[in-house]
Amino acid sequence: MRLNRLSSGISFSATLALDSRAKELASSGVDVVSMAVGEPDFDAPRVAREAARVAVEGGSVRYTPVAGTPALRAAIARHLSATRGGTWTPNEVTVCHSAKHALASALACTVEPGDEVLLVLPAWNSYGEQVRIVGGVPVSVEPRSDCGPDIAALEAAVTERTRGIMVNSPSNPSGYVWTRAETEAFGAFCERHDLWILSDEIYRRLVFEGEPQVSPASLSDSLRARTMIVDGASKSYAMTGYRIGFVAAPPEVAAAVARLESQVTGCPNAISQAAYLAALAPEGPDADPLAEPPEVEAMCAEFNRRRRVIVDGLSALGLEVPWPRGAFYAFPNVASVLDERGSVGFCEDLLESESLAIVPGSVFGMDQHVRLSYATSMAKIEEALTRLGRFLETRRA
C-alpha cells in the first residue's frame, strides 16, 4: 500500500524510540542504564490505583460523556481555580486521552494550513511534528544561554503568518521554569501580536525551588482568553500508562476539542478518568482543593534530591548545565566534545561503548546539548555519571 505524504513525512518520536532501544538491549542481557525516557519511576498513588480497581470491579465501565465525566471535569475546574487562580468552570475543560493527545487536539482546533507556530527552544520533540501534522509551520526560536525565554528573539521571529506559540514551563528538556516577570513580558508579546498560546503545564507540580510555575492564563482575563492549558496525570501523579490529560481553554475551544474527540476517540478511558479523579481530589470533592495524595510530596522530594546529585555530578565532569528548577531533566552543554555527527553521534557512541542511553539535544532543536532524565534511581544516576565520565575522557583524549 502507498503511504500518503503526511504519514511518510512524520518521524518516530525519538524519546520513545530510544527508550525502546534501551529496553531491547536490556532484554538481550546488556547492562544498560537508561536515562532516555521522561517517566516517573514511582507507582501511581494508592488512592488512584484503588479507584481504578473499583471502577473495573464495579462492572460498568462504559462510554462516558465525550468531554469527560461531570465529576472529573468539575474536579479539574476546581483544581485549576486553586492552582492557576481565577474561577474555572467545567465547560472550559475537555478531558483527553493523555496530555500528548490534548496538545494534538488543541492544535487541530486552532491551526490553519500554512499558519506559523512559534516554538521556544529547546522544545519537546513532539511539538514540531504535531504542528506539521495539522498543516502548520513550526518556527523555532533560540532561548537565552540559560534556556530562559528571549523575548527579543521571539519578536524577530514574528511574521504576518504567525498565529500562535507553544510554551512549556517547567521545560522538557531543560528544566527551566519561567519567572512571573518573564511570563508577564511573554504575555505582553502575545497580546502585541495577537497570538494564541498553547501552554503545556504537564510539569507544573515539579518545581523544586524559587517561584512556582506561573500560567499565562493566570495573569489577566485577556491572556486567559487566548490561552489553552494542557496538563494531565502522567508526571504529577506518576500515571503515565493511564493516558489521561485535558485541555482547559475558553468554552468554544473546549467544545471544539470535544467535537473533534467525539469523532476520533469517542471518550477518554473511563477507568483512567476514575483514577485521575481520585488523584485530583483524594479527600473528596468538597475538601481542600489543594489536597493531594501523600505519595506526591514524597516523589517530588526524591526528584529534588536526585536533581542536586546529577547537576553536581555533571558540573564535576566539566559540563555546563542550565539550572533546572523543575521537571526531571538535566540538559548539559556538550559542545566541546562533539564531533561532526553532533549530539546524535555522541549519544550513539555513548550507548555503544558505555551502554548509557540519553537523548540527543538535536531532537529538541539544540544540538549542542544532551538530555538526561533523572526519573530513575539514585544508584542508576551514580552509575550513569561514572559511565559518562569515562566516555568524556575518551572524547577529550
Closer Cβ to ligand PMP, 172 or 273, answer by number? 172
Nearest CA-CA partner of 106 in 127, 76, 122, 121: 127
Name the one range near ligand GLU by CB under 6 A: 8-16, 188-196, 315-323, 384-392.
Answer: 8-16
Among 6, 16, 181, 287, binds ligand GLU (CB under 6 A): 16
Under rule CB under 6 A, how many of the chain's residues touch ligand GLU? 9
The site map against ligand GLU for 302-341 (x = CB under 6 A) is: ----------------------------------------
Cell of 312: 553536581
Q: How many CB atoms lie within 10 A of CB 397?
A: 5
Please answer whether residues 151 and 142 qualify as being in contact, where contact means their C-beta atoms are separated by less than 8 angstroms: no
Cross-strand partners of 95: 246
d(CA 360, CA 372): 9
For the bound state, the minimum distance from the C-beta of residue 68 to ligand PMP, rounded and expressed in Å, comes to: 14
For the bound state, the minimum distance from the C-beta of residue 361 to ligand GLU, rounded and expressed in Å, comes to: 13
Among 19, 22, 38, 276, binds ligand PMP (CB under 6 A): 38
Please answer whether residues 152 and 185 qualify as being in contact, where contact means their C-beta atoms are separated by less than 8 angstroms: no
Q: Is 202 in the site for ligand PMP (CB under 6 A)?
A: yes
Among 15, 83, 162, 236, binds ligand GLU (CB under 6 A): 15
For the bound state, the minimum distance from the C-beta of residue 200 to ligand GLU, rounded and expressed in Å, comes to: 10
Q: CA distances (Å), 154 to each of 183, 230, 235, 249, in order?
A: 13, 22, 28, 23
Helices (runs of H) and strands (runs of E) counted in the chain: 14, 12
Name the one range near ligand GLU by CB under 6 A: 35-43, 47-55, 113-121, 382-390.
Answer: 35-43
Cβ-count burial of 123 within 10 angstroms (0-12 exposed, 13-18 middle, 19+ buried)? buried
Among 73, 84, 100, 371, binds ligand PMP (CB under 6 A): 100
Name the one range near ligand PMP by CB under 6 A: 43-51, 58-66, 97-105, 213-221.
Answer: 97-105
d(CA 249, CA 88): 10
Please answer whether residues 251 and 233 qualify as being in contact, where contact means their C-beta atoms are separated by less than 8 angstroms: no
Closer Cβ to ligand PMP, 240 or 392, answer by number? 240
Residue 116 phi/psi, 5° resolution? Answer: -90, 135
Name the one range near ligand GLU by CB under 6 A: 13-21, 51-59, 67-75, 150-158.
Answer: 13-21
d(CA 202, CA 206): 9
Among 37, 106, 327, 388, binds ligand GLU (CB under 6 A): 37
Residues that bind ligand PMP (CB under 6 A): 38, 98-100, 124, 168, 172, 200, 202, 232, 234, 240, 245
Residues of this chain that interact with ligand GLU (CB under 6 A) are 13, 15-16, 37-39, 100, 126, 172
